[in-house]
Amino acid sequence: MKTMRARAAGAAFAVAAQAALSLPGMAAPAAARAAVQPYAVVGDAITRPLTAQPGNAARGRAIVTDRRTGLCLLCHSGPFPEEAFQGTLAPPLDGAGSRLSAGQLRLRLVDSRRLDPDSLMPAYHRSEGLARVGAAWQGRPLLDAQQIEDVVAFLLTLRR
């Protein structure tokens, strides 16, 4: 991630990832049709859950490994022995739940560019200012509030 070349390759990759997540012909899953939940950033975290219903870690794992919903494994690797192809552009997800709190994980998923404007990671719960978003996705976040909570719940189980 340090070299310019890696940055450029990563940036191109991020655009591809965003485009893949928003192919015009692809119907947005019903769950992703919801609007962005209002949230407050406290330090480097969103401490309040986005939903009243707690996240479900099993659903979160499915989102993380799904090549259409989360697409996380384009960039990340993790403890997913069944997944043959995993990314190398981003830190491995192993131990994420030991390194980061629920609130810190939540902000990184919702909009990592709030922490680093150059972040390659797509903003999963933002509907404005995204580049090249397919028609089906305009005005909609990539993951809805419940999906964000599910992924946070799953990442918290990744402890060292």
Which residues of the shown chain bind ligand HEC in the complex (CB under 6 A)? 13-14, 17, 64, 70-72, 74-76, 89-91, 93, 96, 99, 105, 108-109, 112, 116, 119-122, 124, 151, 155
Packed helices 102-111 and 145-156: angle between N→C axes, nearest 10 degrees: 130
Assign residue 89 a region (left: φ > 0; alpha: ψ between -120 and 50; beta: otherwise): alpha
The phi, psi pair for 24, rounded to 5°, reads -55, -35
* Cβ at position 6, least distance to ligand HEC in Å: 10
Distance (Å) of CA 104 to CA 28, 29, 82, 112, 115: 27, 26, 28, 10, 10
CB of 84 to ligand HEC, least distance (A): 17
Q: CA-CA-CA-CA torsion for 79, 120, 63, 60, nearest 10 degrees?
A: 70
Using the minimum distance from each CB to ligand HEC, give the nearer residue, 47 or 119.
119
Would you call 10 helix, strand, or coil by DSSP? Answer: helix
Closest contact distance (angstroms) between CB of 119 and ligand HEC is 3
CB of 92 to ligand HEC, least distance (A): 8
Which residue, 46 or 71, is less far from ligand HEC as judged by CB? 71
Q: How far is the CB of 37 from ligand HEC (least distance, A)?
A: 16
* Phi and psi at residue 45, to the nearest 5°: -145, 160
- Measured from the CB atom, the residue of 118 and 128 that comes closer to ligand HEC is 118
